[in-house]
Chains A and B, each alone.
Chain A
Amino acid sequence: MGGVVKGGRLLARALRDPASVTTLDATGWTALLQIARAEQLIGTLAARVQGLKMPPDAARILTDAAASIAQQRIAALWEAEVARRVLKPLGVPVILLKGTAFLAAGLKAGVGRSVGDLDLLVPRERIGDVEAALLAAGWEWVKPDPYDDAYYRRWMHELPPLIHRERDRMIDVHHTILPLTARITPDAQALIADSLPFSPEPGALRTLSPSDMLIHAAAHLFADGDLAGGMRNLWDVHCLIEEFGVAGLTQRAQHHGLWREVARAARLAHELYDTPIPETWRIWDSGDPLYMRRLTARDGWGRRTRPLTRFGFYVRSHWLRMPPAMLARHLWTKWRNQGAVGD
């Protein structure tokens, strides 16, 4: 082949073929770790390369990353448990989405995955009751006047974001998955009807069916024009296909009006991660190379090399007694002088 593997491709190779990292030098490792962090895949990388021969610094950094992810997992599953307890009396089906669902269901896609907010799907006709129950249990609106927010009026597939006043964690309550255009609306009722409970107990949390999980992951990838987080989304798609295969996927995706997105996601995952997809799916369309370039455009410093927006690895942290605003004051009080410098 020749040529140095760089950017997102370096990360993709490490995930696809973990043994390849044993050939990396210090510079290569530095770049790999940087890109993995920027793509929110460092926990996944840590899991994939565990036990392989690597420099002590790399081993230590990945061990620390794994410990961090493990703690995030605890916090994420607890958030889901609290939501379950609060919503149980409503008798409403509550479906976990995305990372929290993967973790709770013990899926491959959940291994090493960092999870932030809790995402739930509930029936549209009950969303008012759900909102009331959450507000009564200590969640509050992130923005002071949420329904004025034009975004929510336009999209209206979810409640404006809520944050828990003591635990300082966000919850996003959806009544459908992302509608990508006004014309294509996924069948929310079918999503709920085909969802699966974790246990036979009343009030147990649920996940989407495997096909719907895949369709959701694919839809999510293309919802953001910048493809931020794209490599991770595609890793989710890769893991789900590896775990569940693609039986029934085409038909289901067509039903939701999302087949084009699912097909493209499958092709991109195959290209990056060698995802096992049917031969007939592997025919590229003209847009695919552009997507690939955008997805993998990172330099050794973890920066997007063709940025549409400035990208930063944004971490919401939870202090026992020091919320992020106070931490900012702690570290930045001296330097917060808006008028003197900068634009």
Chain B
Amino acid sequence: MARAESLRIVHLDAFTAIYHRASGITHLLASPAPEILATLGEAGLSRADLAAKLAAQYDMADFDAAALAERLDELVVSGLVATA
């Protein structure tokens, strides 16, 4: 179960600039991180639900579970995603 924290998101051409309100830190993220954050939203999702939604919304069917787990862990470490 993970959820995205309160974020300001601005898409720039090569990457997405994200201002994380709780920390004051600006992150520069490339795909698929912004899509993961957008899908998680503030309410959060279980990992299984997240994978399913990403596949459906963003045409990421080939995105394997291991890669998704890694990306998610990176976002958790950076503080952009909190786990329940």
Q: Given B23, B26, B79, which contacts A320 in the complex, CB threshold below 8 Å?
A: B26
Q: Evaluate contact between A75 and B23: CB separation under 8 angstroms.
A: yes
Q: Evaluate contact between B25 and A167: CB separation under 8 angstroms.
A: yes
Q: Is the interface of A mostly helix, strand, loop or mixed?
A: helix
A167 and B78 CA atoms in complex are apart in Å by 10
Q: Given A74, A75, A77, A82, which contacts B79 in the complex, CB threshold below 8 Å?
A: A82
Q: Evaluate contact between A71 and B24: CB separation under 8 angstroms.
A: yes
> How many residues does chain B have at the interface if contact means C-beta atoms less than 8 Å apart?
8
Q: Which of B24-40 contact A (CB under 8 A)?
A: 24-26
B66 within 8 A of A: no
User: Residue-by-residue, is A249-285 near B (CB-CB < 8 Å gives 1, otherwise 0)?
Assistant: 0000000000000000000000000000000000000
When C-beta atoms are compared, the residue in chain B nearest to A167 turns out to be B25
A77 and B25 CA atoms in complex are apart in Å by 13
When C-beta atoms are compared, the residue in chain B nearest to A73 turns out to be B24
B12 within 8 A of A: no
Set of chain A residues within 8 Å of B48, measured between Cβ atoms: none
Q: Evaluate contact between B22 and A81: CB separation under 8 angstroms.
A: yes
User: Residue-by-residue, is A64-84 near B (CB-CB < 8 Å gives 1, otherwise 0)?
Assistant: 000000010011011001100
Q: Given A78, A82, A85, which contacts B24 in the complex, CB threshold below 8 Å?
A: A78
Q: Evaluate contact between B26 and A78: CB separation under 8 angstroms.
A: no
When C-beta atoms are compared, the residue in chain A nearest to B78 turns out to be A166
A77 and B23 CA atoms in complex are apart in Å by 8
Q: Which of B62-84 contact A (CB under 8 A)?
A: 79, 82
User: Residue-by-residue, is B40-56 near A (CB-CB < 8 Å gives 1, otherwise 0)?
Assistant: 00000000000000000
Q: Residues of A at under 8 Å CB distance from B?
A: 71, 74-75, 77-78, 81-82, 85, 167, 320
Q: Residues of B at under 8 Å CB distance from A?
A: 21-26, 79, 82
